[in-house]
Amino acid sequence: MMKKSMLLSAAALTFLAISGCSTPVYEDRYAWSEGWRVGKVTKLIPADDFLKTGGSRCKQMELGPTHQVAVIRWRQVTRTRGHFAQVDQGSGIGVGDEVYFNAWDCEQPQTVRKVR
């Protein structure tokens, strides 16, 4: 009985050690550890309207008059967070769609990608 218990404990610890250090990678290219998240588009606004309201924390995001900006909401543990990102005109992204976006790095493309 004790031998079975020790074997089970060893297996559980091994599993925890292997899985505890990993983070999700979406579609083999959007790593959680690099800031990629999945969120829901709650609003699409023209770039001109977005810039009139004060912009975002990523001030270097280059927006032209024909660009659109997505307002994205996602959950982080117990908090709802928000993010803004540029949306390509022909992307087919609309309100209610789930998208990938990078919440940390303003140097990465701010264009969101639709979750498949």
Q: How confident is the model at residue 5 (pLDDT cuts 50, 70, 90)?
A: low
Q: Is 37 left (phi over 0), alpha (psi -120 to 50) or beta?
A: beta
Structural domains present in the chain: 23-114 (2.40.50)
How high is the pLDDT of residue 96?
A: 92
Backbone φ, ψ for residue 29 (5° rounding): -150, -15
How high is the pLDDT of residue 60?
A: 61
Higher-pLDDT residue of 97 and 69 is 97
Q: What pTM did the predictor assign?
A: 0.68
